[in-house]
Amino acid sequence: MMEKGLLEEVRTLIPHKELNALNTVGYKELFNYLDDEWELDFAVSEIKKNTRRFSKRQVTWFKRNQDTTWYDFEYQLKDITNHINLEVK
Protein backbone atom coordinates (compact mmCIF):
# COMPACT_ATOMS: atom_id res chain seq x y z
CA MET A 1 0.00 0.00 0.00
CA MET A 2 2.86 2.34 0.79
CA GLU A 3 4.48 1.64 -2.57
CA LYS A 4 1.18 2.41 -4.29
CA GLY A 5 0.98 5.92 -2.76
CA LEU A 6 -0.95 5.49 0.49
CA LEU A 7 1.10 8.13 2.32
CA GLU A 8 0.49 10.70 -0.41
CA GLU A 9 -3.23 9.87 -0.39
CA VAL A 10 -3.42 10.29 3.38
CA ARG A 11 -1.67 13.66 3.16
CA THR A 12 -4.44 14.92 0.87
CA LEU A 13 -7.06 13.75 3.39
CA ILE A 14 -5.68 15.55 6.45
CA PRO A 15 -8.52 18.14 6.41
CA HIS A 16 -11.00 15.26 6.65
CA LYS A 17 -9.16 13.00 9.10
CA GLU A 18 -11.94 13.23 11.70
CA LEU A 19 -14.43 11.50 9.38
CA ASN A 20 -15.42 8.03 10.56
CA ALA A 21 -14.75 6.59 7.09
CA LEU A 22 -11.06 7.47 7.52
CA ASN A 23 -10.77 5.69 10.87
CA THR A 24 -9.62 2.55 9.10
CA VAL A 25 -6.46 0.51 8.79
CA GLY A 26 -3.78 2.45 7.00
CA TYR A 27 -5.29 5.87 7.37
CA LYS A 28 -5.36 6.17 11.15
CA GLU A 29 -1.78 4.96 11.52
CA LEU A 30 -0.48 7.40 8.94
CA PHE A 31 -2.44 10.26 10.50
CA ASN A 32 -0.55 9.47 13.71
CA TYR A 33 2.69 9.66 11.75
CA LEU A 34 1.75 12.95 10.08
CA ASP A 35 0.75 14.36 13.50
CA ASP A 36 4.30 13.56 14.70
CA GLU A 37 2.96 11.02 17.20
CA TRP A 38 4.69 8.02 15.59
CA GLU A 39 7.75 7.34 13.48
CA LEU A 40 7.04 6.18 9.93
CA ASP A 41 8.56 2.72 10.50
CA PHE A 42 6.34 2.21 13.53
CA ALA A 43 3.24 3.40 11.64
CA VAL A 44 3.97 0.94 8.82
CA SER A 45 4.46 -1.92 11.30
CA GLU A 46 1.12 -1.02 12.91
CA ILE A 47 -0.56 -1.02 9.49
CA LYS A 48 0.78 -4.52 8.88
CA LYS A 49 -0.32 -5.76 12.31
CA ASN A 50 -3.78 -4.19 12.08
CA THR A 51 -4.29 -5.49 8.54
CA ARG A 52 -3.60 -9.04 9.75
CA ARG A 53 -6.04 -8.58 12.64
CA PHE A 54 -8.73 -7.16 10.36
CA SER A 55 -8.27 -10.01 7.91
CA LYS A 56 -8.57 -12.58 10.69
CA ARG A 57 -11.83 -10.98 11.90
CA GLN A 58 -13.22 -11.08 8.36
CA VAL A 59 -12.39 -14.78 7.98
CA THR A 60 -13.99 -15.51 11.36
CA TRP A 61 -17.13 -13.63 10.35
CA PHE A 62 -17.41 -15.47 7.02
CA LYS A 63 -16.82 -18.87 8.66
CA ARG A 64 -19.94 -18.34 10.78
CA ASN A 65 -22.06 -17.93 7.64
CA GLN A 66 -23.11 -21.36 6.40
CA ASP A 67 -23.90 -19.92 2.95
CA THR A 68 -20.33 -18.76 2.33
CA THR A 69 -18.62 -20.53 -0.54
CA TRP A 70 -14.85 -20.75 -0.24
CA TYR A 71 -12.63 -20.89 -3.30
CA ASP A 72 -9.04 -21.98 -3.42
CA PHE A 73 -6.76 -19.28 -4.77
CA GLU A 74 -5.77 -21.66 -7.56
CA TYR A 75 -9.32 -21.71 -8.98
CA GLN A 76 -9.64 -20.20 -12.39
CA LEU A 77 -11.83 -17.12 -12.59
CA LYS A 78 -14.08 -18.81 -15.15
CA ASP A 79 -14.70 -21.72 -12.76
CA ILE A 80 -15.70 -19.33 -9.99
CA THR A 81 -18.00 -17.29 -12.23
CA ASN A 82 -19.58 -20.49 -13.57
CA HIS A 83 -20.31 -21.62 -10.02
CA ILE A 84 -21.79 -18.23 -9.12
CA ASN A 85 -23.95 -18.24 -12.26
CA LEU A 86 -25.27 -21.71 -11.33
CA GLU A 87 -26.09 -20.50 -7.81
CA VAL A 88 -27.98 -17.46 -9.11
CA LYS A 89 -30.17 -19.44 -11.54
- In this structure, what CATH number is given to the domain that contains residue 81? 1.10.287.890
Answer whether residue 25 is part of any domain: yes
pTM of the model: 0.77
The number of folded domains in the chain is: 1
Tens of pLDDT, residue by residue, the chain (89 residues): 999 999 999 999 999 999 999 999 999 999 999 999 999 999 999 999 999 999 999 999 999 998 888 887 777 888 888 888 877 66
Are 38 and 46 spatial neighbours (Cβ–Cβ below 8 Å)?
yes
Residue 67 is assigned to a structural domain of this protein: yes
State which residues form the domain around 41: 6-88
Residue 1 lies in a domain: no
Let me know if residue 68 belongs to a domain.
yes
In a domain, 19, yes or no: yes
What pLDDT is stored for residue 22 in this prediction?
96
Position 69 in a domain: yes
Give the burial class of 25: count Cβ atoms within 10 A of its Cβ; 0-12 exposed, 13-18 middle, 19 or more buried: middle
| Residue 12, in any domain of the structure | yes
